[in-house]
Amino acid sequence: SDLFFVGTCFFPITAPSIEIFSNQSVVNFPSLKMADTGEDNRPIDERRTEVRDQLMAIQSAVSAEWEMSRPWDVDAPASDAESPAEGKFMATFPYPYMNGRLHLGHAFTLGKADFMVGYQRLKGKRTLYPFGFHATGMPIATAADKIKREMSTHGYPPFPPATDADKHDREEAHLLRVPAPPVTVKKVAPKKQPAKAATKTDPLAFTSAKAKVAQKDSAKEQWEIMRSMDVADKDLEHFADPHYWLGYFPPLAMQDVSKLGCKVDWRRSMVTTPVNPFYDSFVRWQFLKLKEKDLVRFGKRFTIWSPADNQSCMGHDRSVGENVAVQEYTLIKLEVAEPYPEVLSSLAKEGRKVYFAAATLRPETMYGQTNCWVLPDGKYGAFEINDTEVFIVSHRAGRNLAFQENSREWGKEKCLLDVTGQQLIGTLLRAPLREGEESLIYTLPMLTIDMEKGTAVVTCVPSDAPADWRTLQDLRDDEKQQAKYNVKKEWIPEDLIEIIDVPEYGTRTAEKLCNDMKIKDQHDEHKLNEAKDICYKHGFNFGTMLVGEFKGMAVKDAKPLVLQKLLDNNQAVKYAEPNGRVVSRSGDEGVAALVDQWFIPYGEPEWRALCDKALENMRCYGNDTETYNEFVAALNWLNNAWPCSRTYGLGTSFPWAPEFLVCSLSDSTLYMAYYTVAHLLHEGSLDGSTRGKANVSAQQMTPAVWDYIFCLSDDVPTDCDIAKESLELMRREFSYWYPCDCRVSGKDLIKNHLTFSLYNHTAIFPEKHWPKGVRCNGFLNLNGEKMAKSTGNFITLADAITKYSSDVTRLTLAISGDSLKVADFTDLNAFSSIDRLRKLIDVITEQSHHKVTGTETQTYADKVFLNEIAKAMNTGAKNYENANFRKVFSSGATRLWSAFDRYLLSSPEDSRNGGLLRTWCESLLILYSPVCCYTTYHLWKNVLGNETPIYDAKWPSFAEVDVSLLLATKWTDELLGLVRHKLTLDLKGKLTSDVSKVKIFLSREHPEDVVVVFRTLLEVYKKHDNVMPDLGVINKALCQQKMFSGKAGKKKLGLHMKTIKGVSERVLEEGESALSLDPQFDEAETLSSQLVYFQNALDVAEVTCEFDQ
């Protein structure tokens, strides 16, 4: 009945706290399970539903209070003296597009901004979270036009009507219930949805991981899409007017975001386009500023174009390929030489010059052409370019060429004949930059050509293109392939032409790379792409030309000169295409067109340098290095003129060219500044139809006025009739709140919106008003799969709140992921969040009944408890500061719960410190409050009885954390874990009541293998300049120790790997001290003071200990 635990006690490594999170999702809340309900044997889903309903009741009551008190409406202080010493914090979220309801993916990002604002307010800062709505561009106008066409085709209302079964399935899937009254906003009031009462037989439908509303086919008709958003058929006619959308969806978005509990100052909200004349004036001012600096220009530029819409098709105008960009090439004109192949003979008889047009990114390598490649099974066309020239290219390329002034009629390609690649094999061509007979090369088969990339005609340069060299080797060595494609041996070049000398790789770079990397054939795609990147990068940056008139010149200097020579000699033309598939909102496939347009010259060296400086000074929250690198990549990529105009859709007209509209990615780059004064211009209306405190009209907001209030001029405009008091009020608001402290966004906007914002801020504002921070996140999956309406794996924000409650939704979003990788909102996470909040309510309510006797620590358990609270709150603060919200709960909150559990086990009930327990309760609520805003507000005010609302409470401060006490506590918990493990082993996996006594023997000597491990770790740490290397390096060093050599030694080493990993992690926080075996606290005293804790935790009658002296 007694158990004796004999062992050496060295500092244990692994943290004892409960592991809440796996890599993907919450998998277990051991200490946060539903409280034992005794005789309550209801199914767990039904009990969770009851908790959800309790949370919804709290949410409803609290939101009603906030609607009255409006705590999030915050103005700049009248003077600096009235500003809090802690400063201010302004966070923004890219205004969502108003062609539908907000979904959970929106909430995943906008919630992060709200969490940051909530935390910074607790830190004493004056905070601001404004929120606007985007309507510029094509999507709404296109959808409205579709409705017009469909009503004309199908009649009105459209056929077929929605069935009762459709409605039932949608209500079942989304769990629609009576929504809260809509936010009062001027414009069209949305229709209320029919109520669906909650019943005990329908408790949340928690058993389904997917919505039942999956459409059998993706909605192709606009009326189907509108119906899926619960728009009644009888109301569809209103949506034929694009402006109706601007009055319908923004109020719904405001309602949803408010219900989520976001701390938004709605007075500052607006909708874009001339619907709001104030915002329209702001965008016009912005573009006038750019034009003053010659940063908006007009000319022919390549752009992605929608033939159906007859205008540029930018990101928000696309249903497919939002991030696809224009890729520019040089088309090398390989003239067909006699004898003409039979398939092209008809063109020769007409006196036309026929060229194989090969797309290349490296015109400087054309000196090394040895042959041309085509895909044998590829379908090519002979496209008429002008009166005399015909290009052999893919049909996709032929279509693009027609929009680039390479056809008789712009935008209309003419294919004179169709031909397969097999029919072209053996064609003799004349290669530019090769002289005399050496210029004659043959057309050969290449089996890896992509018909959707370039022209599908590829010129071969085996010296500097790994795929070319490898394919030539394949063809030369494979007689069966030669026979299959009717290739004569004399057509295959015998050797390559050395044209570039590259340090480390020589003059045959492609051959060396293929041999070094053991690339086996032309189908070894991954290795070939890797080799190509090395070859191109090193050749361009470090290569020297060996041939031609630019011999001896650096490749990077020779490249533009060679290109210009080819163009001047009519041996090449410029060509562009989308680097991926683009489908416009109108349904047609986009092309690359060369058109006259207004463009912004992003990437110009001086401007780019300013952006680099802004990026260096901008804080990247959450994933600093990863996000920073994404911005660098975006800046490197964005080195071409960006089209910023269109002629169709919604948007602001160019001040100097009203026939053009500013595109949706160009009117959304500086508007964060507009938020600072929006409420003074039109408080209470999204469309600017009411006047704010400044009492000005949109017509009075001249460019000079915008300059003044944005501190770009200190001179009051001479022709301004706005009251000086109003001007100073607006100027004060801007100068106080700007710059924006953090822009929270999905990572997909780094490549356009966020980088554009850097460019525009650096162009217009001085450095003190450049963006201070950004927090980016990845996409959000739902139950492990991509969210998509077409599959039914989709949920709107409104439905998520109805299904789970706001606080459960917020907490689940917070713990779903912090990185730029895809996060996952799962039912399992949500259920765990419900359980967690259930325990929060129960424990706080129970602890509120304890008498507060002061917070002075008296016992060892008190000291440990207070020290752990301080450490947990410091950990929580650190993660809130870095916007790593998942870690707030996996580290900070978990530590608080563990400290509470430990304190209850360590202290008899009659000796517990009521003041400390109150401190713990308040600390826990404050830690939770930025995320679980409704529940914590209720518990703080109505249960704990605090008068100051929790959002205005101060983040608690404690005395400095006692590190030695932390180590002692961690050591104690690890020792407890070892004892518990020993109990289990001795009783063959079962804990029974047979064990009544435990005696622990502690030795002050460490086993030899432990000493060797720690000594080696210290040596490795020192050898690597006081940095702990990865486990592979550590393991290699340990295996060199005699004790850990051989099979037996490796087995012994394996027993220490958990310890080694833990020590490595501790080194990050504690430095070299983590590698010391010298005790940093009195182990005997520590264990002696924790025997009650051990006794209660192990549930035994007696625990004793004995020490070596």
pLDDT of residue 952: 96
Closest C-alpha among 371, 472, 494 to residue 424: 371
What is the per-residue pLDDT across 559-615, written as a single tens digit (0 to 9) for each? 999 999 999 999 999 999 999 999 987 788 999 999 988 999 999 999 999 999 999
Distance CA 632, CA 856 (A): 53
Distance CA 728, CA 736 (A): 12
What is the per-residue pLDDT across 118-163, written as a single tens digit (0 to 9) for each? 999 999 999 999 999 999 988 888 889 888 888 888 777 765 555 5
Closest C-alpha among 336, 548, 319, 535 to residue 424: 336
Is residue 588 within 8 A of residue 608, CB to CB? The reply is: no
Distance CA 56, CA 837 (A): 12
Closest C-alpha among 397, 371, 370 to residue 383: 397
* Residue 1065: pLDDT band with limits 50, 70, 90: confident
b/e string for 78-112 if b means 16 or more Cβ within 10 A? eeeeeeeeeebbbbbbbbbbbbbbbbbbbbbbbbb
The label of the residue with tokens 């009885």 reads 945
CA dihedral of 1079, 1080, 1082, 1084, whole degrees rounded to 10: -40
* Residue 204: pLDDT band with limits 50, 70, 90: very low
In this structure, are strands 780-782 and 785-786 parallel, antiparallel, or unpaired? antiparallel
pLDDT of residue 32: 28
Is residue 890 within 8 A of residue 815, CB to CB? The reply is: yes
The contacts of residue 1036 (CB under 8 Å, 6+ apart) are none
Looking at the DSSP bridge assignments, the partners of residue 642 are 600
b/e string for 590-600 if b means 16 or more Cβ within 10 A? bbbbbbebbbb
Q: Give the pLDDT mean for 169-187.
A: 35
Please tell me the number of Cα atoms within 13 Å of 860 on its side-chain side.
16
pLDDT of residue 530: 94
Write out the H or E segment, with its range, that includes residue 146: helix 139-154
pLDDT of residue 47: 84
Rounded (5°) CA angle 1088-1092-1095? 110
- Beginning with the edge strand found earlier in the chain, give each strand of the sheet holding 88-92 in spatial order: 126-128, 88-92, 742-746, 773-777, 619-621
What is the per-residue pLDDT across 863-908, written as a single tens digit (0 to 9) for each? 999 999 999 999 999 999 999 999 999 999 999 999 999 999 999 8
**Torsion-angle region of residue 44: left (phi > 0), alpha (psi -120 to 50) or beta?**
alpha
* Residue 992: pLDDT band with limits 50, 70, 90: low
Looking at the DSSP bridge assignments, the partners of residue 381 are 393, 418
Q: Measured between alpha carbons, how far is residue 465 from residues 393, 508, 543 in Å?
A: 21, 10, 14
pLDDT of residue 444: 97
Is residue 501 within 8 A of residue 507, CB to CB? The reply is: yes
Q: What single string gives the DSSP state of each residue in 436-485? A: GGGGEEEEEE-TT--TTSTTS-EEE-TTT-HHHHHHHHHHHH-HHHHHHT
Closest C-alpha among 472, 475, 456, 452 to residue 464: 472
Distance CA 756, CA 749 (A): 10
pLDDT of residue 158: 62
Question: 189-203, 234-248, 310-324, 918-932: lowest mean pLDDT where?
Answer: 189-203
pLDDT of residue 803: 94
Residue 993 predicted with pLDDT over 70: no
Q: Measured between alpha carbons, how far is residue 64 from residues 6, 659, 801, 936 in Å?
A: 61, 47, 16, 15
Residue 686 predicted with pLDDT over 80: yes
Looking at the DSSP bridge assignments, the partners of residue 97 are 134
What is the per-residue pLDDT across 537-559, written as a single tens digit (0 to 9) for each? 999 999 999 999 999 999 999 99
| Alpha helices for 229-276 (secondary structure H) | 242-259
Secondary structure in 3-state letters for 293-338? CCCCEEEEEEEEEECCCCEECCHHHEEECCCCCEEEEEEEEEEECC
What mean pLDDT, rounded, does the chain reach? 87
What is the per-residue pLDDT across 237-290, written as a single tens digit (0 to 9) for each? 899 999 999 999 999 999 999 999 999 999 999 999 999 999 999 999 999 999
What is the per-residue pLDDT across 740-752, written as a single tens digit (0 to 9) for each? 999 999 999 999 9
Is residue 563 within 8 A of residue 572, CB to CB? The reply is: yes
Rounded (5°) CA angle 863-869-875? 135
The contacts of residue 249 (CB under 8 Å, 6+ apart) are 98, 99, 100, 101, 133
The contacts of residue 443 (CB under 8 Å, 6+ apart) are 356, 371, 372, 373, 374, 424, 425, 426, 427, 428, 429
What is the per-residue pLDDT across 343-380, written as a single tens digit (0 to 9) for each? 998 998 888 899 999 999 999 999 999 999 999 999 99
pLDDT of residue 5: 38
**Residue 688 — φ and ψ, nearest 5°?**
75, 20
Is residue 327 within 8 A of residue 574, CB to CB? The reply is: no
* Residue 83: pLDDT band with limits 50, 70, 90: confident
What is the per-residue pLDDT across 415-446, written as a single tens digit (0 to 9) for each? 999 999 999 999 999 999 988 888 999 999 99
First and final C-alpha spacing in the chain: 28
pLDDT of residue 1109: 62
Residue spans of beta strands (DSSP E) within 955-1028: 997-1003
pLDDT of residue 207: 35
- Token pair belonging to 934: 């409704």
Residue 1009 predicted with pLDDT over 70: yes
**Residue 44 — φ and ψ, nearest 5°?**
-60, -35
Q: Measured between alpha carbons, how far is residue 966 from residues 72, 871, 943, 1045 in Å?
A: 39, 8, 31, 36
Is residue 284 within 8 A of residue 706, CB to CB? The reply is: no
| Alpha helices for 478-623 (secondary structure H) | 479-484, 509-516, 525-542, 555-568, 605-617
CA 444 to chain centre: 44
Distance CA 403, CA 416 (A): 17
Secondary structure in 3-state letters for 761-797? HHHHCCHHHCCCEEEEECCEEECCEECEHHHCECCEH
pLDDT of residue 143: 87
Is residue 334 within 8 A of residue 432, CB to CB? The reply is: yes
Q: Give the pLDDT mean for 88-92.
A: 98
- Token pair belonging to 204: 């949340």
Residue 29 predicted with pLDDT over 60: no
